[in-house]
Amino acid sequence: MLNRQGRPTTPTDADMAQRATFTGNRALQQVEPLIFEIGRVDATGVDIDEPEPFTPRLGGLERADGVGLPGLSEPEAMRHYVRLSQKNYGIDTGLFPLGSCTMKHNPRLNERMARLPGFGDIHPLQPVSTVQGALELIDMLAAWLMELTGMRAVAMSPKAGAHGELCGMMAIKAAIAARGEGEVRRTVLVPESAHGTNPATAALIGFAVKPVPVRPDGTVDPETVRALVGPDVAAIMLTNPNTCGLFEPDIVAIAAAMHEAGAYFYCDGANFNAIVGKARPGDLGVDAMHINLHKTFSTPHGGGGPGSGPVVLSDRLAAFAPTPFVTRSGDGFALVEHADEAEEGGASPFGRLTAFHGQMGMFVRALSYMLSHGADGMKQASEDAVLNANYVRACLSDLMSQPFGDRPCMHEVLFDDAWLKGSGVTTLDFAKAMIDEGYHPMTVYFPLVVHGAMLIEPTESESKASLDLFVATLRDLAMAAKRGETERFTGAPYFAPLRRLDETRAARSPVLRWTPPAPVRDAAE
Ligand SMILES: *Cc1c(COP(=O)(O)O)cnc(C)c1O
């Protein structure tokens, strides 16, 4: 147990801590039913006068019975939502070591900027003359993204990384169609270690996916790519630094192999946080790359949104960027909304990707992050992120095995489960035991090419003290696993309000709809 100063508390009795309680609550952690279960259809939290008699003007389409919404008093509604918010584990609660996700601190300054009325309260259908500042901000952010990546153009509207993949691959598809090769180039190469969104994107827009085996050292061999790429191949989708946390050493040769064969290089830029200010994808031969503003540029993410995934494009693809986009016109800014306007400017957009212009709030936050850090600060953030990952790697390498542990990592740090062999503890058990210690688990079982993978990305925003406590916790757990304290893991989490859930069933047959229970019959009847 850690020694901490402060008032001594009664030592916890492990059995007591696991005891079921009458309410189901665990200390001040309250069980929270669905709002439909606590509300009553006949109750209301507001006092509105009965309407004057009126004649409906809905031509007989008016609703005949109640909507069935639950009614709650104001304190009941408040408690419900506050309790729900307290169930949320986020980056503002503690270290969030999810590998591949870049869970970094979201500076409050960004939030302040995003709430400025000129950014926060505008409407996408407002006349362009009234939103010149907002358009200028989009244009400035676009310029920074092109500068940092060394690319020619950027499509700002994609709303997440996966949406950016769709955008980039549709630009590639359009470029191939424009060359008259749309019928032949129907295959996309995707390394085995890729994030699942890569093959999903390619398949969604009609490409066949051909897996590229990775070398035993976790990277892609340009000779393998050369052997697989032919006149039928449209592109490769490659992540760099890759999902094993390694910088692809032969990325330039891979790009050349694709270009020589008349194909394109899509780079998954979700791991850009590790190389901002250090390497420019444009210099590496990349044709299209999405940038997760919600990872690299600190805009908040998790729980399904919001995200923002602008796509930078090379000279070869710039003309195919989708509408709408912002251009400079005279002293101000204009929006190019339609393909014919774009064509007048020499472009041939593949279409319109979103109804409006992208995630304005995220644009403001990302630019605020960039301007407050400056070029030197962004470079420093990348260096510190990689340093932090290597610190965790070095501090755990005597206890936990690493598949590619012979060299420093260049993004997140990857462990496998070879060190748990014979202990009766799996990667999943280990992750669940972290919850008891107050940590959100790391990414587990990804990438798929590594057995029992544990992928940890501490990001630059964790202090040394925070990393030291994290490392000490993992060391304590690792030693307990090796000592054979199997139960601490296989039954974990013991202290969470809910214990092991059937995650497969939850994902395969989610219960998304509440149905009112059958009325309870009066027992005295
Ligand atoms: C996060 C991530 C994505 C997908 O990004 P979303 O914004 O979640 O859609 C794609 N590839 C990699 C490597 C990622 O880490």
In angstroms, the CA 366 to CA 86 distance is 27
Contact 105, 300 (CB under 8 A): no
pLDDT above 80 (res 354): yes
User: Three-class SS of residue 193?
Assistant: coil
Q: What is the DSSP string of 309-326?
A: --EEE-TTTGGGPPBPEE
Q: Tell me: pLDDT of 11 over 60.
A: no
**In angstroms, what is the span from residue 208 Cα to ligand 1's centroid?**
21
- Cβ atoms of 238 and 257 within 8 Å: the answer is no
Residue 379 · residue 278 · CB < 8 Å: yes
Give the residues across from 336 on adjacent strands: 325
pLDDT digits (tens, 9 = 90+) for 83-97: 998 888 889 999 999
Within 6 A (CB) of ligand 1 lie: 100, 160-162, 195, 197, 239, 243, 268, 270, 292, 307, 309
| pLDDT reading at 54 higher than 80 | yes
For residue 51, what are its two tokens? 């309407």
Least confident of 17-26, 196-205, 310-319: 17-26
Distance 246 CA to ligand 1 centre (A): 17
Which structure tokens are listed for 199? 């093959």
> What are the extents of the domains in the chain?
109-367, 375-497
The CA distance from 188 to 169, in Å, is 10
- Residues 6 or more apart in contact with residue 37 via CB below 8 angstroms: 514
Report the percent of the chain where pLDDT is more than 90: 78
User: In ligand 1, which atom is closest to the CA atom of 194?
Assistant: 13
pLDDT tens, residue by residue, 478-506: 999 999 999 999 999 998 878 888 888 98
Tell me 89's DSSP state: -
Is the distance from CB of 279 to CB of 252 less than 8 angstroms?
no
Residue pair 95/470 in contact (Cβ under 8 Å)? The answer is: yes
CATH 2.70.98.60 fits 109-367, yes or no: no
Q: Which two tokens stand for residue 305?
A: 């949104």
**Positive or negative, the Cα torsion across 423, 424, 428, 429?**
negative
- Per-residue pLDDT, 525: 46
Please give the pLDDT value at position 301.
87
- Asked whether the predicted pLDDT for residue 191 surpasses 70, the reply is yes
Q: What is the pLDDT of residue 342?
A: 87
Mean pLDDT on 107-132: 96
From 308, 458, 303, 412, select the one nearest 369 (Cα to Cα): 308
- The answer, yes or no, to whether residue 300 has pLDDT greater than 50, is yes
pLDDT (0 to 100) of residue 10? 56
Place of tokens 């912002």: 326
CA 408–ligand 1 middle distance (angstroms): 23
Sign of CA dihedral 464, 470, 474, 479: positive
Type of residue at 317: L
Closest to 236 measured CA to CA, from 256, 216, 217, 215? 256
Check pLDDT > 60 for residue 507. Answer: yes
Distance (Å, rounded) from C-alpha 236 to C-alpha 34?
A: 45
Three state DSSP letters for 259-274: HHCCCEEEEECCCHHH
Cβ atoms 389, 275 nearer than 8 A:
no
Percent of the residues in the chain that have a pLDDT greater than 70, as a whole number: 95
Q: How many other C-beta atoms can be found within 10 angstroms of the C-beta atom of residue 520?
A: 6
Tokens of 158: 């994609």
Confidence of residue 252 (pLDDT cuts 50, 70, 90): very high
Taking the centre of ligand 1 as the mean of its atom positions, its distance from the CA of residue 289, in whole angstroms, is 12
List the residue whose alpha carbon is closest to atom 12 of ligand 1.
270
Is the model's pLDDT at 523 over the cut of 60?
no
Task: Decide if pLDDT at 3 tops 70.
Answer: no
pLDDT confidence of residue 17: 60
Atom index in ligand 1 nearest the CA of residue 309 equals 7
Please provide the average confidence, as pLDDT, over all residues in the chain. 93
Assign a CATH topology to domain 375-497.
Aspartate Aminotransferase, domain 1 (3.90.1150)
CA distances from 304 to 160, 264, 294, 300, 474 (A): 10, 30, 11, 11, 28
- Residue 6 has a pLDDT of 65
**Amino acid occupying residue 516:** P
- Higher-pLDDT residue of 79 and 24 is 79
Q: Which of 334, 311, 333, 336 is nearest to 323 (CA)?
A: 336
Contact 404, 244 (CB under 8 A): yes
Cα distances (Å, whole numbers) of residue 346 to 90, 287, 319, 394: 46, 19, 7, 53
Predicted TM-score (pTM) of the model is 0.91
> What pLDDT score was predicted for residue 31?
86
How many residues appear in the chain? 525
